[in-house]
Amino acid sequence: MCETKVAVYGKGGIGKSTTSCNISIALARRGKRVLQIGCDPKHDSTFTLTGFLIPTIIDTLQSKDYHYEDVWPEDVIYRGYGRSGPC
């Protein structure tokens, strides 16, 4: 299996979320499975990829009274652009 990892870094306001989202969509359109992980407190890319605002990890931890051991993958992983069926 060929696996590629891409990281996007830079100062604020230069379009990291937009660029990451566009790369994820382009790869998904080519039939690739994509996992986009990021620190996105403004929901810039998550809304574009999912069509709705997902909770941040802080929101999720707060809902679990900050018991990280009670956070499960299904609490923080959401189906995004171009996916149907099980993750």
- List pLDDT tens digits, range 64-79: 999 999 999 999 888 8
Separation CA 38–CA 45 (nearest Å): 9
pLDDT at residue 3 greater than cutoff 90:
no
Enter the pTM of the model: 0.71
> Does 1 or 12 have the greater pLDDT score?
12
What would the pLDDT profile of 16-67 be if each residue is shown by its tens digit? 888 888 998 898 899 888 888 776 667 777 788 888 888 888 889 999 999 9
Phi/psi at 47 (nearest 5 deg)? -65, -40
Average of per-residue pLDDT across 2-26? 86
